[in-house]
């Protein structure tokens, strides 16, 4: 089996029974904020795109590059489609000209032509990607690989039970806006960033240890930031709180925990994989490349500047009545929302800066009041500040997922009183009838489910499944004193009270082990 690195989470897998191209991303994403690093735009995409199968893990725009898919990928390729609750991924691929779809069943092995076997595990909670994320397992001639990309399964045993995995590709770096955009003192940002960076690595080590593959490939990040306004987010400034470590940092950190089987893929690197060996060739020396990272970034910044300028020029739509259009689009969804609106629980304020930055229009999405209205000088727990033209553009293109556009762009600042609230971001990910109805139904079932199974952790008896997204706490739970941390997403719970310390709306069932502690958090 041959694995060719094609940048970020993308790779081409070649076997005697056919080729699979995964998640090709080349063009800037999220308001021209994210670019692939190392640069993959100069690969021979005409050849790379001539494949038998296409796998797009999910609709995040650093995995689903519509322009690139339309221009370079063979439309006769059969799309390996994850089993998602909505049809949006299939619909968007059909609009690009793809007509052949193999609709997989989640966690079910499918045998394709020539003995090529695949299994796709689809994650379907509203907080997984844009309503869904997935991982791809491939087997041919006894060689097995798992492309986990940036999915976060609660359990890798489904893949391990299919036989020993020879190559494991997974995310290790950040792919979020926290904590950089929050209006906090720099010392606090650094401290929170360091915590997140450590959690990212801890989660990665846990996944690696679960699967115990022969070879580990760090993929799916980090992006690079070439706009001058975002340049500080690149991990080249000696900031220990930067959440975007690159592959060379992964290799260094992995060595500290005893890892010796890491394999870095640059765009154009090729790994020849068998059941007993691997041989990897690179287009350039890997160590020298990352040693010169800043120079590479500066060259890319200069070369990509016209692309960023052209994108920025397309965002302004002064003819749009922002308040009126938001009322028209969001108020019907607020009327239908029960669980998301209750979960947000208050008004969310958007401060829109004028083109010249001299004035601000403040608009409130009032969840209890079920309306979008001008800000009335009231106290709000959640506030976002961004350029007016970004909201104009979201309205202009009828964007139904502000997380997969505005928020991941990092072109905003945020402030909140109290804890993180997942329902805020879940709602702004679901600005369409189909998505909202799915999310409401999911939270309805989630709310009704009762997890009776318990596990023992650090002298406490706790419910086995995390109240957040059902992670198995017997594997991902760590107890320090009276605080339990779920390492899958870093959520924390106060065990004596059951209260979630990370977000509102979640509580854990827990009691001190032993007959002398009858009190129970419910």
pLDDT tens digits for range 471-519:
778 877 889 889 999 876 778 899 999 988 887 767 888 888 864 443 3
Cα three-residue angle 500-503-504, rounded to 5 degrees: 85
Could you give the percent of the chain with pLDDT greater than 70? 96
Contact 161, 146 (CB under 8 A): no
| pLDDT for the residue numbered 517 | 41
Residue range(s) in the chain whose domain bears CATH number 3.60.15.10: 2-307
The order of strands in the sheet holding 278-281 is: 101-103, 78-81, 53-55, 18-22, 11-15, 2-5, 270-273, 278-281
Topology of the domain covering 2-307 = Metallo-beta-lactamase; Chain A (3.60.15)
Q: Tell me the per-residue pLDDT of 159-183, one tens digit each, with 9 for 90 and over.
A: 999 999 999 999 999 999 999 999 9
**Nearest-angstrom CA–CA distance, 389 and 402:** 14
Q: Six-digit token pair at 257?
A: 């925990």
457 vs 130, more confident: 457
Spatial neighbors of 257 by CB under 8 A, at least 6 apart, are: 205
| pLDDT for the residue numbered 308 | 98
Q: Tell me the per-residue pLDDT of 386-426, one tens digit each, with 9 for 90 and over.
A: 999 999 999 999 999 999 999 999 999 999 998 889 999 99
| pLDDT for the residue numbered 249 | 97
Q: Where are the alpha helices (DSSP H) in 282-432?
A: 286-291, 293-313, 322-336, 339-344, 388-396, 408-409, 422-428
Distances, alpha carbon 493 to alpha carbons 50, 358, 373, in Å = 49, 43, 36
77 vs 491, more confident: 77
Q: Which range, of 36-40, 55-59, 173-177, 419-423, averages the lowest pLDDT?
A: 419-423
The average pLDDT across 285-309 equals 97
| pLDDT for the residue numbered 449 | 58
Residue found under tokens 């991303």: 25
Residue range(s) in the chain whose domain bears CATH number 2.102.10.10: 450-512
Confidence of residue 522 (pLDDT cuts 50, 70, 90): very low
154 pLDDT above the threshold of 50: yes
368 pLDDT above the threshold of 50: yes
Q: Where are the beta strands (DSSP E) in 380-487?
A: 382-387, 412-416, 454-457, 460-463, 477-480, 483-486
Please report how many Cα atoms fall inside a 13 Å half-sphere around the Cα of residue 259, on the Cβ side.
27
**Nearest-angstrom CA–CA distance, 177 and 233:** 10
**Nearest-angstrom CA–CA distance, 142 and 474:** 32
3-state SS, residue 482: coil
Write the CATH number of the domain with boundaries 450-512. Answer: 2.102.10.10
Query: 322-444: which CATH architecture?
Result: 2-Layer Sandwich (3.30)
| pLDDT for the residue numbered 123 | 94
Mean residue pLDDT of the chain comes to 93
Residue range(s) in the chain whose domain bears CATH number 3.30.1050.10: 322-444
133 vs 434, more confident: 133
**Predicted model pTM:** 0.86
The candidate with the shortest Cα–Cα distance to 173, out of 244, 110, 122, 78, is 244
Could you give the percent of the chain with pLDDT greater than 90? 81
| pLDDT for the residue numbered 52 | 98
Distances, alpha carbon 66 to alpha carbons 61, 98, 446, in Å = 8, 11, 33
């Amino acid at each position: 089996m041959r694995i060719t690195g094609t940048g970020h989470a993308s790779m081409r897998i070649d076997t005697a029974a056919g080729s699979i191209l995964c998640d090709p991303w080349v063009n800037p994403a999220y308001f021209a904020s994210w670019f692939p690093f190392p640069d993959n735009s100069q690969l021979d995409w005409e050849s790379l795109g001539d494949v038998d199968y296409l796998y797009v893990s999910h609709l995040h725009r650093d995995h689903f590059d519509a322009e690139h898919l339309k221009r370079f990928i063979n439309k006769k390729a059969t799309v390996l489609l994850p089993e998602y609750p909505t049809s949006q991924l299939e619909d968007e691929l059909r609009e690009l000209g793809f007509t052949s779809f193999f609709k997989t069943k989640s966690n079910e092995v499918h045998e394709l032509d020539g003995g090529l076997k695949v299994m796709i595990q689809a994650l379907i909670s509203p907080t997984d990607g844009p309503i869904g994320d997935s991982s791809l397992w491939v087997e041919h001639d006894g060689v097995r690989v798992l492309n986990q990309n940036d999915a976060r399964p609660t359990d890798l045993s489904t893949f391990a039970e299919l036989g020993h995995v020879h190559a494991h590709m997974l995310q290790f770096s950040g792919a979020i806006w926290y904590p950089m955009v929050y209006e906090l003192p720099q010392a606090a940002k650094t401290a929170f960033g360091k915590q997140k960076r450590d959690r990212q690595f801890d989660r990665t080590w846990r996944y690696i240890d679960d699967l115990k593959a022969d070879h580990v490939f760090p993929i799916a990040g980090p992006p690079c930031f070439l706009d001058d306004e975002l340049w500080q987010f690149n991990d080249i400034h000696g900031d220990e709180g930067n959440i975007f470590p690159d592959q060379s940092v992964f290799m260094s950190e992995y060595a500290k925990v005893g890892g010796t089987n890491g394999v870095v893929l640059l765009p154009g690197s090729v790994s020849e994989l068998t059941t007993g060996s691997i041989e990897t060739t690179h287009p350039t020396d890997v160590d020298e490349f990352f040693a010169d990272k800043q120079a590479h970034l500066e060259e890319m910044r200069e070369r990509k500047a016209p692309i960023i300028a052209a994108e920025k020029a397309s965002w302004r739509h002064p003819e749009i009545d922002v308040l009126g259009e938001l009322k028209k689009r969001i108020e019907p969804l607020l009327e239908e929302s029960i669980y998301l609106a209750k979960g947000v629980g208050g008004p969310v304020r958007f401060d829109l800066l004028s083109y010249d930055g001299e004035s601000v229009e403040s608009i409130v999405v009032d969840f209890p009041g079920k309306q979008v209205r001008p800000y009335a000088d009231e106290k709000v727990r959640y506030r976002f500040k961004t350029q007016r033209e970004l909201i104009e553009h979201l309205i202009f293109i009828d964007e139904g997922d502000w997380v997969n556009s505005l928020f991941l762009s990092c072109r905003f600042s945020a402030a909140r009183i109290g804890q993180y609230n997942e329902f805020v971001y879940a709602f702004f990910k679901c600005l369409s009838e189909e998505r909202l109805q799915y999310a409401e139904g999911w939270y309805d079932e989630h709310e009704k489910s009762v997890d009776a199974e318990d596990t023992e952790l650090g002298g406490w008896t706790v419910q086995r499944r995390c109240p957040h997204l059902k992670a198995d706490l017997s594997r991902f739970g760590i107890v320090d004193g009276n605080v339990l941390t779920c390492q899958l997403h870093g959520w924390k719970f106060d065990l004596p009270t059951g209260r979630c310390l990370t977000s509102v709306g979640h509580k854990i069932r827990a009691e001190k082990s032993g007959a002398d502690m009858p009190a129970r958090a419910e």
